[in-house]
């Protein structure tokens, strides 16, 4: 009888457990994420939480019964200038009760965890989620947002939650309300919801905002709202505000006259509105939602460079659709070019419209808890 042929001996790399790559990718992403935040925190030193100090001082002013908004402020970007809705100041009171260093550390940890929570909620494949975490560790606007203690990671969490639960009125309405109460720009999502007939989500969101506004008013008084409107009017100069990256401001910084730069700004806003309206009327709900999230930042009177961290939202959608070039969107902010921030928003705004829906193998149902 002929002997059976010997079985080939597996090479060491062939004996590697099947679960090794599945663990390696998350490990690399988390290590990079943690290391990047630690490096930024150490390098920042006493300037860590530079913008958070504005929130902290607002909470302290509430405790002291002082005026919430400074009537002398007429330019945004200075130290400890509070430009957020009155209810947001209420959320800062617990931090104001902590010693300064502990408050900054707690806030920084909260932002880091909020971003990871947002990534966990993204309705995309698992490998896309880990790639988003890795991209955040490599993206300057995200790291700068952490360094400043800005609210970007909280907005990311709100946008991600709304995207996850597009067809669940309760969570969707609450996520839209949360974003609007942190900063006004995400309120544009109510327009998207109205265009899509999501009236229950709108009602829940409006009720949540009204309840928080009432609670804030009981503490701050009606005068805080008039002061808030007044300070927004004084600081909302999209062309002439220093260190601002709206298209008009970039044109002005590059030598255009104020009139010409204003024309650039109004044209860019009109184009953004037109693209957003098209998305509302002609695209699927998921695409329109992500386009609206991007547009909410582009339509802001002031566009700071750390706002670009929210481009990780459309990047995740494009990666879900296997548009791998999208990794260049968050990484492009490293280029030392004055116009790169507004330009980086363009593929985030238009890309979702040009790539169709996420109905591809391995996609995640946005209405599910998968």
Using alpha carbons, list the distances in angstroms from residue 350 to 144, 147, 271, 286, 295.
25, 29, 11, 14, 10
Contacts for 259 with CB less than 8 Å, ≥ 6 apart? none
Q: Name the pTM for this structure.
A: 0.89
pLDDT at 4: 56
For residues 193-202, give the mean pLDDT.
96
pLDDT in tens, 97-131: 999 899 999 999 999 999 999 999 999 999 999 99
Nearest in space to 156 (alpha carbons), one of 205, 127, 122: 122
**Cβ atoms of 58 and 219 closer than 8 Å:** no
**Cβ atoms of 283 and 262 closer than 8 Å:** no
**Cβ atoms of 319 and 135 closer than 8 Å:** no
**What whole-number distance in Å separates Cα of residue 83 and Cα of residue 68?**
10
Hey, what are 133's tokens? Answer: 């975490």
pLDDT at 15: 56
pLDDT in tens, 281-292: 999 999 999 999
Query: If DSSP codes are grouped into helix, strand and coil, which group holds residue 238?
Result: coil
pLDDT at 220: 87
Using alpha carbons, list the distances in angstroms from residue 251 to 59, 159, 244, 247, 269.
37, 30, 11, 6, 14
Share of the chain above pLDDT 70, in %: 89
**Cβ atoms of 310 and 318 closer than 8 Å:** no
Nearest in space to 56 (alpha carbons), one of 93, 19, 86: 93
pLDDT at 243: 86
Which residue's entry shows tokens 């149902």? Answer: 365
**What whole-number distance in Å separates Cα of residue 268 and Cα of residue 252?**
14
- Measure the CA angle with vertex 297, ends 293 and 300; round to 5°: 135
Could you tell me the residue ranges of all domains in the chain? 32-354
pLDDT in tens, 128-158: 999 999 999 999 999 999 999 999 999 999 9
Nearest in space to 303 (alpha carbons), one of 262, 267, 332, 345: 345
For residues 228-236, give the mean pLDDT.
89
Q: Mean pLDDT in the chain?
A: 89
Query: If DSSP codes are grouped into helix, strand and coil, which group holds residue 254?
Result: coil
pLDDT at 77: 67
């Amino acid at each position: 009888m002929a002997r059976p042929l010997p079985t080939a001996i597996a090479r060491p790399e062939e004996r590697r457990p099947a679960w090794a790559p599945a663990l390696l990718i998350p490990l690399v992403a988390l290590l990079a994420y943690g290391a990047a935040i630690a490096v930024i925190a150490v390098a920042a030193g006493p300037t860590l939480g530079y913008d958070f100090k504005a929130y902290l001082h607002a909470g302290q002013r509430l405790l002291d019964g002082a005026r919430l908004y400074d009537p002398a402020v007429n330019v945004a970007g200075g130290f400890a200038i509070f430009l957020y809705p009155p209810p947001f100041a209420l959320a800062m009171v617990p931090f104001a009760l902590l010693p300064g260093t502990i408050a900054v550390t707690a806030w920084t940890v909260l932002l880091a965890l909020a971003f990871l929570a947002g990534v966990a909620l993204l309705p995309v494949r698992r490998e896309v989620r880990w790639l988003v975490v890795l991209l955040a560790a490599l993206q300057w606007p995200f790291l700068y947002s952490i360094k400043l203690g800005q609210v970007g990671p909280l907005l990311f969490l709100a946008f991600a939650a709304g995207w996850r639960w597009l067809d669940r009125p309760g969570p969707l309405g609450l996520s839209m309300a949360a974003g609007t109460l942190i900063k006004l720009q995400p309120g544009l999502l109510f327009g998207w919801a109205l265009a899509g007939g999501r009236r229950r989500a709108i009602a829940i969101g409006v009720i949540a905002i009204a309840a928080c506004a009432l609670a804030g008013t009981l503490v701050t008084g009606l005068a805080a709202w008039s002061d808030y409107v007044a300070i927004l009017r004084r600081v909302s100069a999209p062309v002439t505000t220093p260190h601002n990256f709206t298209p008009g401001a970039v044109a002005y910084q590059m030598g255009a006259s104020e009139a010409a730069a204003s024309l650039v700004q109004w044209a860019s806003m009109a184009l953004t509105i037109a693209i957003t309206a098209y998305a509302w009327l002609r695209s699927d709900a998921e695409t329109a939602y992500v386009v609206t999230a991007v547009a909410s930042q582009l339509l802001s009177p002031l566009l700071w460079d750390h706002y670009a961290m929210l481009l990780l939202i459309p990047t995740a959608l494009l990666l879900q659709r296997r548009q791998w070039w999208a990794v260049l969107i968050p990484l492009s902010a490293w280029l030392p070019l004055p116009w790169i921030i507004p330009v980086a928003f363009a593929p985030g705004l238009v890309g979702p419209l040009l790539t169709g829906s996420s109905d591809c193998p391995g996609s995640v149902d946005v209405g599910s808890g998968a």
